[in-house]
Amino acid sequence: MNGFLVVLQKELLEGTREWRALATTLLVAPLVGPFLFVGITAFTMHQAIDDVAAAIEIPAVGAERAPNLVAHLRQSLIDVDAEAFADQGDQTARHEALREAVRSGEVEVGIVVAEDFAEALAAGQAARVWVVADSSSNRARPETNRVRTALGAWSATVGGIRLQLRGIHPTVGAPLAVLRDDVSTPSRRAYLLLGIVGYFVLFAVLIGGSQIAVDITAGERERGSLEPLLAMPIRRETLVLAKVLATLVVMTASLAITVISFAVAVQFLPLGELGMTANFGVVEAAQMFLLVFPFAALAAALMVAAASLTRSFREAQTYTSIAMIAPTLPVVFAALRPMQDSVPLMLVPALSQHLLLSDVLRAEALDPLHIVTSVASTAAVAAMLVWLTVRRFRSEKLIL
């Protein structure tokens, strides 16, 4: 035990002597990542809210022919500029001027009311209105959708009035009434935005310990301190466990910083304005930390194992970079094809932690069997990696 503590203290001191690199590792992904994610998400949410709630102004050619339609658009917070392009000449010239303004980006969207609009409406025919927009412009899409929705609502209203004037109930033309019964909870809806949190947490753990894992393996080989360490009367199992534990200490710190950062940053998201609630308080943060901790142990063993296979510091950085990607691939696959929690999936490290974190964020009850299976399978893989690393340290090829 004394030998284990001596080696552990040595590895922690050596692994943290490059405090600038360590500080960067512990701050960039665990601290900056969550706030950057939340900042971008919050900006996008505010932009979406503004796109729906804010009043917009659009040019309308021939708006004087459709006063009721213009009034409806204004009730939908769409102001109509009836004088736009009035100096361009006749209807055709004004229509072409509007098309050119939209094409150049000067105008996002506009409408053109047909010259026979009033006559067609009075005759019970389809009155024509053109929505002039650029379908390739992402910036114009929100305004275009709002205009199309408002025109569709007005069309449905007029159609219902036409049927009533003919003694026909409006529901005759709508034989199917599709009603919405949303069984989601505010926490589940918030998960649509926060689902990537699990990936961030797992990846931050991997990044957090990569630097120290490389330094206490390949770094020791380059500094020439590995051979004296191997000559000490310490069992190889003890040596490897001390290195893994030193890496785990740093990864645990990275995990704690990441979870706390997300718990704080998520509070700044305007989820309430969209009918969502972030299930991310102190209790949930503690649950996330405990659920991911077994993965941190596996990640520490993985980083040490990968770095021990190399002969130089630079080569170790390459190996550990590849080792960071491998555990997260199942999580990426799960994001592309959503999965339901099951015992077989809990046998896959990283994926099981991601699914359990998803349950926490959705405020769903955790299945004890799933937790036990996840911890056991993750611990088994970590133990196997430690065993492989011990075999590597027993081989003479380690110092050749």
Q: Indicate which CATH number applies to the domain containing 141.
A: 3.40.1710
Co-location of 153 and 190 in the same domain: no
User: In 190-288, which ranges are E strands?
Assistant: none
pLDDT band at 2 (very low <50, low <70, confident <90, very high): low
Who has greater pLDDT, 133 or 323?
133
Structural domain of 317? 3-46+186-398
8-state DSSP, 392:
H
pTM summary value: 0.75
Q: Tell how far CA 289 is from the center of its chain.
A: 19
Residue 179 lies in a domain: no
Split at pLDDT 50, 70, 90, the class of 18 is low
Q: Considering the domain boundaries, does residue 180 fall inside one?
A: no
Per-residue pLDDT band for 372 (boundaries 50, 70, 90) equals: very high
Question: Residue 398 pLDDT more than 70?
Answer: no
Chain position carrying tokens 């004088």: 83
- Is the pLDDT assigned to residue 328 strictly greater than 80? yes
Neighbours of 330 (CB within 10 A): 18
Q: How many domains does the chain have?
A: 2
How does residue 375 score in pLDDT terms, banded at 50, 70 and 90? very high
**The 129-133 sheet, strands edge to edge:** 78-81, 56-61, 109-113, 129-133
Q: What percentage of the chain carries pLDDT values higher than 70? A: 88
Q: Region 155-166: what's the mean pLDDT?
A: 84
- Asked whether residue 213 is assigned to any structural domain, the reply reads yes
pLDDT-derived band at 264 (thresholds 50, 70, 90) equals confident
Core vs surface per residue 49-61: b (16+ CB within 10 A) or e: eeeeeeebebbbb
> Do 276 and 373 sit in the same domain of this protein?
yes
How many residues does the structure list for the chain? 400
